[in-house]
Amino acid sequence: MSSSSTSTMPPPATSAGTPAAAVPSTPAPTRSAGLTGRQLAGQRIIYSYPGLTPPASLLRIIRAGEAAGVIFFGENIASTAQISSVIAQLRRAQAQSPIHLPLLMMTDQEGGLIRRLPGAPALSEKRIGQSDDPVTAATTAGTTAGRTLAAVGMNVNLAPVLDAYATPNNFIDQYQRSYSSDPGTVATLGRAFITAQQRTGVAATAKHFPGLGWATTTQDTDTGPVTLHESLARLRGTDELPYTAAVAAGVDLVMVSWAAYPALDPNRPAGLSPTVVGQELRGRIGFTGVTITDALEAGALAGYGGTGQRAIAAATAGMDLILCSARDVSQGEAATTALINARGSGQLDPANFIAAADRIADLRGRLQ
């Protein structure tokens, strides 16, 4: 929310030549104006559900205008026809809500081994990087990924991975999720993928900032805490380089890692760190788009309380979207309630809260 400011211009004169009384400035309009507390908090929550059929509770939440979007996993998808029907059902529910913006319908369609939907892109990032014409291959992957999602009604891809792997067969390389060990190559190919995909009308997500390329084979934030002891020079010169290129290319979203990086913040995982999110990603690199957490239920956050505490900590750090991906609608409801209470108590800054909701609304307004 824009704050009121005192004009530096002299007050206008009346016809008698005396200065008119100053007119107080008013805050700029916000896309979040008029929402209830629960609706406002819900604009920051991505829901998930089990199985092939969205539960009635999720449809009710969407109709009430209390959800930003839904993430889909393999267990939610039996075929393109089936998931297209589900998404049409969710869109009908959203059309009945007071929020006249499309839901963020997202999945992980990275290519190769990591594809939730049948179809393109067939090549993994590693195979793209090893191809005879990597830029063309990355461009084709971005275009076809966008078309695959758009064909079933999805509008956000949680891709590409922009982590430059440090050693062969490590965490990010073992599933062929990295273009290269060279950050310049990753930057070039990631930019090609992002640009091509976003031209199809599907938002891209650069992940996992500031980078998981140094993680060993067993260092998986889904299962437990991960600390990456890299120097600040390496983080900025290698790991963050592809993200700088992605931001310059206009990437719509950035997913922040749950790993801890002592060179940036010795006390918190990246996605819970105001230093990483506010100073590094937004300040140093200049990202102005939407930030999204990795899975809120991740094992890396075992020491940070339950769903509500994690959601508040992420929002405090500057994360816009909270990814509740445990395939349990109640997880999203718990995160929503926690954000409502934290905003009401002043634990979360009201202006920052609305700014986050407005960034998300701006993104939703550009998608279909």
Q: How far apart are CA 225 and CA 301, in angstroms?
A: 7
In tens digits, the chain (368 residues) has pLDDT values of 333 333 323 333 333 333 333 333 334 457 777 899 999 999 999 999 999 999 999 999 999 999 999 999 999 999 999 999 999 999 999 999 999 999 999 999 999 999 999 999 999 999 999 999 999 999 999 999 999 999 999 999 999 999 999 999 999 999 999 999 999 999 999 999 999 999 999 999 999 999 999 999 999 999 999 999 999 999 999 999 999 999 999 999 999 999 999 999 999 999 999 999 999 999 999 999 999 999 999 999 999 999 999 999 999 999 999 999 999 999 999 999 999 999 999 999 999 999 999 999 999 999 99
Q: What per-residue confidence (pLDDT) applies to 9?
A: 30
Strands (E), the chain: 45-47, 69-71, 104-107, 109-111, 114-115, 156-157, 203-209, 253-256, 290-293, 322-323
Q: What per-residue confidence (pLDDT) applies to 16?
A: 36
Q: What angle (nearest 5°) sits at the alpha carbon of residue 198, between those of residues 287 and 83? A: 115
Q: What per-residue confidence (pLDDT) applies to 220?
A: 94
Q: Which of 239, 177, 183 is nearest to 214 (CA)?
A: 239
Q: What per-residue confidence (pLDDT) applies to 33?
A: 76
